[in-house]
Every structure is written in C-alpha cells, then in structure tokens.
Structure 1
C-alpha cells in the first residue's frame, strides 16, 4: 500500500477503531452533535487517537463520498507499542540505537528522517500518539519505502519512552542549540537514543531536563539552524562513525 487509506462515515470509523485498524488521525466536522459522535469521541479518548475538528470544507477536500462529517486516516504501516518495540530490539541487539521524535509535524520531514534512520541502522523510531505527523503517501514516498523497514512505536508521551529507555541502560542524547556541548564530544558507541524536536520549537523543555546529554552541531554560517531532517542525519551519521571506528 503506497498511500494512506481513508475511512469515512461515523459508524464505519467507530468499527475500524474497534477492529484494531491502525487509525492515525480522525477529522471531525465542527459542530457535529449526536449519540454516535459522542460514542466516537469517547472511543478516541480511550484509544489515544488524535482528532481534529475542522470545517466542512476541509472534510469535503479529504473525500467526496458520503462522509457524515467524519473521515479517518488509516496508516499504511502498523505501529508497535513501546513495550513491543523495546522487547523486539533488546532481544536481538546488544547496543541498539533508537530515535525519538518530539513533535515532528511535517510529513515530508518525517519521511526523510525515516529514510535516514533506515540507512544508518536505527533499530526503532518512537513518536508520540498526539502531535506527530501521520504517515501519508507523501511520507512513504519521501522515505523511499523505508517506513516499511524501520519499526515505529507510538507512546502516550515521549517522556514515558525516555524514562523507560534510561531505566534500560540507554543513554539519551537531545539535539538542541541550547547547549555549549558539541555532538562530537558525546559517546554514542553504546546503547543510545537520540531525540529530535519539532521543526519550529525544538524539544520541549520538560524533555530536555530529563536527557542524559544535550548536544548541538557547530553552525559556521549566518543562519542559526538546520532543517530538522538534515540535523537528524548529521546526528545519526556521527553515531555510525563512532560505531564503525
């Protein structure tokens, strides 16, 4: 499957969620009322699936079918839980490399990051259930199909994953400009997890506080920051360099 599948109609979306389909996000027309909508909203809250309340025009752009004001995006890949991912990785890898994405919202950046992660041997990518870019056809295309090769887990909060990894002996390194420490001074040869932040705001302060190390890239030009997918590539290839010496 090369594109995100859409399911439309209130009852159809409810049944898809109950059946365990990998629903990435649900779009709901603003102002909708009724028993079924309440049932859907309750189910979304329990499942941790993000919802966006949008104008009718947005729904009509998503599909021309009889949508009843509700459209769900079904991911072309199945996400793992944090527990499933870590159990799978720790069973087969002595010094794994994880990538945590704190609020990457652009689907093309997400795809480019996944592609680089696959090329650099990342063992698993972890994203939050809410606030993360969905996997769309553009994501699949930009990743050059890497979305089907790198395990991706969703967690309620990135901080939950951070605590779990640290307790498992994984060194957590946050990519941020808010430090004087250069990336090249950080040891990435053992079990490690690299955190990359949102395109506009970077890593949230509460996450930065919990990281083992903060690290930045040297910036020699007038522009003060890199595109997040480019910066991610630099961090991951430094890990590769250290691990292949």
Structure 2
C-alpha cells in the first residue's frame, strides 16, 4: 500500500528539520531572525532562570511554539540526552531533502559531494561550508557512519549547515548505485589513482566520494566507483586533510582552463 499524499508531505517537511540541542546553541538559533524555527522543546525539570528563561522569552517573542517534556522524552527528541542540557529547537533547513526525492531534479551536470564515514565533527562542518560556498549541487549524507549534525558541526560550518544542500540517505553505496544508473560518474578520491582531480572534466553529472579520515573510501563505496582521482602532491606529502580536499573539489571546475 502506497503512502498517502498527506503522509509524504509531512515526511518531506520533517526531512528538512534539524534539531539543535544545548542552551547556548539554541539561544544562538533563536537570536538569528533568518532561521525559521518549528518548535522549542524544554525539559520540565529546567529551572526558569538564566539561559532557559532567555530562551523561552525569545521563542515567545517570535511566536515559536514551546513544548515541555519529561527529561526522558526530551532526550529522545534531541538524541543526545547527555549534552542537550534540557533544551532543543527544531530548525527548518529548506535545502535538506531525501536523496531519492532530489535525484530527478538534479541538473544534467550536477556535481555532488558524497561523505563516506567523515567522523570528525570539525572536518564535517568545514566540508559542508566549502561545499555550500563552491560549485556543489548537493552533499550526500548517510545517516549512519558520519558524524552527527550537532553543535560542533554547526560551529565548524559557520552556520552554513542550515542552508546547505544536504541530501539524506540511509546507505551511501545504495545512493551511489542510483547515481550510476543515471549515468553519473562516481569518483573515489584516492592517493594511488593515475588521474588527478584537475585533469578530469566530466561530460555529465559526477559524484566525488570523500572517505574516512583514517581508512579512506570504504569497500562498499569503492565498489560503486567508476574511477579514481588523486590530488597531486609534492615534497613527500602523502595526503591532505579531508576538509581541504573538499575545498579543492568544490572549486576544481573554476580552476580548469576554459
């Protein structure tokens, strides 16, 4: 039985919602009038003083619904009961989409960045910042294996996470397989590849796979790759930080001679 239109519409809405937790991060969200907040969540055990009082007042001044919960219920909402400090807010991120929903709408020469086990929050945030600023049409983000989209990622992204084109999927290899079925190139960044990032000029859509900081591209993602690409190195340097590599990819098209 297929899902009803109402269910699909509701699911699409919540796919665009990012829950931010922690008192200072939530306060910063509420202080930014450019961010659309769906709801504020507070633990019933909070004392109505200090930052909690300021957070509630800001939400009420912006007509944002304020919901109170048991401590256990709030931990389920924040998904981080140890660090949420009894506070969470749902932020609507307009460019977040399910990958399968976004795939038909991608431009013919779409450039995607796929995150394959990026576990360091600072790296993830900086990657998102570079991708949002550069020539990247979407960031493939698998829910499992990558760092969670928490306060450290938001801070490292300088707040660009809220407007980044994040394409959500359950399995990165499965998403890469769908890209291949649409005749997109799937390029794994690898030090031993014979072709460099700057030599490669795709005719159509392309996905650049960034691997784990220590292990590189995973076997499952590597199996879906149609080619490998390397970053040229000099002076005995073996590798670059994954966030630096993402920046080079984001601007590689502008660096090629026309």
- In the alignment, which of 144, 148, 159 is matched to residue 158 of structure 2? 144
User: Are 1:239 and 2:250 counterparts?
Assistant: no
Structure-2 separation of matches of 1:220 and 1:109: 23
Q: Which residue of the partner structure matches residue 72 of structure 2?
A: 10
1:104 aligns with 2:118: yes
Aligned 8 A contact 1:27 1:72 in 2: no
Partner of residue 187 from structure 2, selected from 173, 180, 200: 173
- Counterpart in the other structure of 1:197: 211
Shift of 1:163: 0.6
What is the CA distance between 1:63 and its match in structure 2? 4.9
Work out the CA distance in 2 between the residues paired with 1:216 and 1:145. Answer: 30
Instruction: Report the CA distance between 1:77 and its aligned residue.
Output: 4.2
Report if the CA contact (8 A) 2:21-2:151 is conserved.
no
Matched-pair contact (CA < 8 Å) for 1:76–1:135? no
Give unmatched runs, 5+ long, in structure 2: 1-16, 23-40, 44-70
- 1:85 is matched with which residue? 102
Q: Distance in 2 between matches of 1:204 and 1:11?
A: 35
TM-score w.r.t. structure 2 length? 0.65
Deviation string 1:185-244 (CA, Å, 9 cap, x unpaired) is: 3223531111101111110123212211101111112331110000121222223334x8
Could you report, residue by residue, the CA deviation over 1:57-115 in whole angstroms, capped at 9, with x for unpaired residues? xx3xx2555xxxxx99977747421112223x42xx23111110001111111111111
Q: How many residues align?
A: 195
Q: Give the counterpart of 2:230 among 216, 219, 226.
A: 216
Q: Over the residues paired in the alignment, what is the CA RMSD in angstroms?
A: 3.0
Moved more, 228-237 or 76-85: 76-85
Instruction: Evaluate the alpha carbon distance shift between residue 209 and residue 178 of structure 1 in structure 2; reply closer, same or farther with a 3 A threshold.
Output: farther
Query: Larger Cα Rg: Structure 1 or Structure 2?
Result: 2
State TM-score, norm by structure 1.
0.68
Classify the secondary structure of the residue corresponding to 2:249. Answer: helix
Cα distance, 1:127 vs structure 2: 1.3
